[in-house]
């Protein structure tokens, strides 16, 4: 919860975890502004989510409702219909969306760059709807965007030189992430999160992993890795956990911490390119400091 007042002048409700974390940063420490997440922390993605009576109570007390958009909140029309005075901000407005077979993929926030656009949209929307706090929203957003930019630079540097760029995932959560970092999603085993693949789908996945030579299979910490482990046993691939940032600590730096963990996982799983003498490549040997500048392994700053 941001703001810390018992009688908030502006009550902001977010639809689910990644939008809550973004909004928490934009509204951070602003007197009279309260941020509440509508869904429970362990809800995860909102595929087929149905509004509960408790959700409607929360929305009835809200001034502003911030959602991911892009089709993630299929209940949105019902929410606005039940609480017509709600002012709505759709964080994915203006972002180039990915579609598969005519179905829009809503997992925009998993791309750091796209998530930065979401933060900008949230800040602009809040500044317009709550002009008394506009300057503070913009100031907070600028500070958070600087942190996200540093994260983005570190992730691009770390993933630029990985040996393998093909991955197998268990949920349609990673196309935006793959697009940003030049990875290829060779297969998605479970189209709906948490659903177990059929024997036929499992056999197809095993065949595809063998054909493509993919060595890394990525399950998600929110769901069982049973199917991933079966595929790994049959193909010799290894199972890793890649987090789509749909659950986690309700703290401002949670998105950054989870993405940093994802970077370490990918570097380990996909391998780093080596030069002929066994050293890491120049890009991989660079590190990003807290102020966003690059350093080499021996701590010297590179030319800016």
Stretch 171-200: mean pLDDT, rounded? Answer: 84
Q: How confident is the model at residue 7 (pLDDT cuts 50, 70, 90)?
A: low
Predicted local confidence at residue 33, as pLDDT: 97
Predicted local confidence at residue 190, as pLDDT: 66
- The CA–CA distances, whole Å, from 232 to 4, 163, 239, 271 equal 48, 19, 7, 17
Q: How confident is the model at residue 272 (pLDDT cuts 50, 70, 90)?
A: low
Residue 95 confidence (pLDDT) above 50: yes
Alpha-carbon span 244 to 235, nearest angstrom: 25
- Cα Rg of the chain (Å, integer): 21
Q: Phi and psi at residue 100, in whole multiples of 5°?
A: -125, 120
196 Cβ contact partners less than 8 Å away, ≥ 6 residues apart: 190, 224, 226, 227
Examine domains 10-156 and 162-295 and report if their fold is the same: yes
Q: pLDDT tens digits for 96-131? A: 999 988 999 999 999 999 999 999 999 999 999 999
Task: Please report which residue ranges of 213-270 form alpha helices under DSSP H.
Answer: 226-235, 254-270
Three-state SS annotation for 75-98: CHHHHHHHCCCCEEEECCCCCCCE
Stretch 122-146: mean pLDDT, rounded? Answer: 98
Stretch 197-225: mean pLDDT, rounded? Answer: 87
Q: How many CB atoms lie within 10 A of CB 21?
A: 27
CATH of region 162-295, choose from 3.40.50.2000, 3.40.50.1980, 3.40.50.1100, 3.40.50.300: 3.40.50.1980
Domain boundaries, the chain: 10-156, 162-295
Q: Choose among 136, 128, 125: nearest CA to 14.
A: 125
Q: How confident is the model at residue 14 (pLDDT cuts 50, 70, 90)?
A: very high
Contact between 295 and 286 (Cβ < 8 Å): yes
Q: How confident is the model at residue 298 (pLDDT cuts 50, 70, 90)?
A: very low
- The burial class, CB within 10 Å (0-12 / 13-18 / 19+), for 77 is exposed
Q: How confident is the model at residue 256 (pLDDT cuts 50, 70, 90)?
A: very high
Q: Work out the mean pLDDT of the chain and round it to a whole number.
A: 86
Predicted local confidence at residue 79, as pLDDT: 87
Predicted local confidence at residue 295, as pLDDT: 42
Q: pLDDT tens digits for 226-242? A: 888 999 999 999 999 99
Q: Phi and psi at residue 287, in whole multiples of 5°?
A: -130, 150
Predicted local confidence at residue 192, as pLDDT: 63
By percentage, how much of the chain surpasses pLDDT 70? 83
* Structure token digits, residue 53: 């009576």
Alpha-carbon span 118 to 139, nearest angstrom: 16
Q: pLDDT tens digits for 24-35? A: 999 999 999 999
Contact between 245 and 148 (Cβ < 8 Å): no
Report the DSSP pairing between strands 287-288 and 238-241: unpaired
Predicted local confidence at residue 185, as pLDDT: 92
Looking at 86-95, 122-131, 191-200, 238-247, which range is the least confident one?
191-200
By percentage, how much of the chain surpasses pLDDT 90? 63
253 Cβ contact partners less than 8 Å away, ≥ 6 residues apart: 147
Q: pLDDT tens digits for 57-80? A: 999 999 999 999 999 998 888 888
Predicted local confidence at residue 213, as pLDDT: 87
Query: At the top level of CATH, which class does the domain 10-156 belong to?
Result: alpha beta
284, HSE (Cβ side, Cα atoms, 13 Å): 18
Contact between 87 and 65 (Cβ < 8 Å): yes
Residue 279 confidence (pLDDT) above 70: no
279, HSE (Cβ side, Cα atoms, 13 Å): 8
Q: Which residue has the higher pLDDT, 37 or 227?
A: 37
Residue 21 confidence (pLDDT) above 60: yes
């Amino acid at each position: 919860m941001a703001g810390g007042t018992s009688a908030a002048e502006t009550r902001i409700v977010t639809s689910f975890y990644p939008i809550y974390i973004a909004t928490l940063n934009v509204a951070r420490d602003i007197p009279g502004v309260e941020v509440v997440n509508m869904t429970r922390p362990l809800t995860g993605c909102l595929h087929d989510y149905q509004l509960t009576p408790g959700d409607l109570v929360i929305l009835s007390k809200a001034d502003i409702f911030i959602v991911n958009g892009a089709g993630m909140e299929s209940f949105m029309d019902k929410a606005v219909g039940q609480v017509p005075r709600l002012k709505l901000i759709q964080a994915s407005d203006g972002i180039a969306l990915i579609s598969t077979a005519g179905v829009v993929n809503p997992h925009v926030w998993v791309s750091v760059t796209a998530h930065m656009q979401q933060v900008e949209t949230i800040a602009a929307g809040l500044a317009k709807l709550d002009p008394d706090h506009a300057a503070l929203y913009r100031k907070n957003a600028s500070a958070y965007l600087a942190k996200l930019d540093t994260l983005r630079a570190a992730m691009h540097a770390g993933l630029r030189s990985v040996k393998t760029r093909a991955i197998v995932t268990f949920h349609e959560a990673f196309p935006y992430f793959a697009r940003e970092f030049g990875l290829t999603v060779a297969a998605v085993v479970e189209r709906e999160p948490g659903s177990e693949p059929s024997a036929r789908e499992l056999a197809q996945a095993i065949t595809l992993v063998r054909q493509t030579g993919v060595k890394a299979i990525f399950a998600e910490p929110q769901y069982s890795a049973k199917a991933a482990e079966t595929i790994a046993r049959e193909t010799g691939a290894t199972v890793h956990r890649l987090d789509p940032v749909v659950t986690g600590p309700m703290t401002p730096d949670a998105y950054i911490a989870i993405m940093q963990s994802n970077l370490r996982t990918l570097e380990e799983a996909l391998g780093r390119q080596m030069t002929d003498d066994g050293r890491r490549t120049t890009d991989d040997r660079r590190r990003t400091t807290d102020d966003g500048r690059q350093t080499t392994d021996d701590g010297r700053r590179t030319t800016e």
